[in-house]
Amino acid sequence: MLASDLIPHTPSAAPPPEKDHLPSDHPTTAGGTDPVAPARPPVWEVDRFHWPRTCQKLLADEEGYLASAGEKLVAAVRDGMRVLAITGSRRGEGRSTLALCLARVAAKAGLNVALMDGDFARPQLASKLGLEVAHGWQDAALGAIPLSEAAILSREDALTLMPLTMGPATRSLSLADPRVTATLRAAAATFDLVVLDLGPIAPGELLAFPPGEACPLDAAIVVRDTRLTDPAESEAIGRMLQSAGLEAVGIAENFVSEDMPRPILD
């Protein structure tokens, strides 16, 4: 599905307030206040996303953990979780696959979900879902477009994608940038749940946020490929995330018991 397949989304609900989300429209943490006004509905929509075969296989397993993950995510949202980050210690461990699957089951369970690409070094969620996009949410964070113009709703999946596009501006961003956290908080004020594909965190790396800001993430899952990554490495990342202010951290182990992740968020 190419960018030409994108069509403007026409919401059935009444339009939201005029000031919709932009870090440039609202005071940011640099000015002492985070934006909290909800974003407008996505400007773009597609009939459906083209899901990777691995996701289709995992989601079709009625005996696997993902069959009940939607209910667990609904319960977590009721307990106050709004932003769930998915990370790991290296590429190729299944991090993005798990983010895709969790976002889909959460939407299927009735939550209003945004799947947000937070891999600033190598964004890939749009391409994994068969989309070519002209803009990413980094353009909104930098004040170039409204956030709603960087969001794509899949009508069949009832799921909104907030992609990143590759480029020097994207690679220069991080969670330590107040424009990034302002955009993330705006998304969290709009959706029931934001699933953030955070990208890998190297052993010993620290997760930094803008000075004076609280952690914008509520929970995280560290994905571990049992064939590649030592348990201590993943546990060290989990402890670092907890020390950064995340309230709940779990570890999902891939390539265990027929390549299914072990239970998470229990």
Full set of structural domains in the chain with CATH = 64-254 (3.40.50.300)
Phi/psi at 140 (5° precision): -70, -40
110-153 pLDDT per residue, tens: 999 999 999 999 999 999 999 999 899 999 999 999 999 999 99
CA gap 214, 76 in Å, rounded: 20
For the chain, what percent of residues have pLDDT higher than 70?
81
From the number of C-beta atoms within 10 Å of its C-beta (0-12, 13-18, 19+), residue 4 rates as exposed
pTM of model > 0.85: no
How far separated are the first and last CA of the chain, in Å rounded?
36
The secondary structure of residue 194, as a DSSP letter, is E
Whether 167 has a pLDDT exceeding 70, the answer reads: yes
For range 176-186, the mean pLDDT: 95
Phi/psi at 34 (5° precision): -85, 150
Q: Minimal CA–CA distance to 97: which of 248, 229, 254, 266?
A: 254
CA gap 111, 73 in Å, rounded: 9
Other beta carbons within 10 Å of 173 = 17
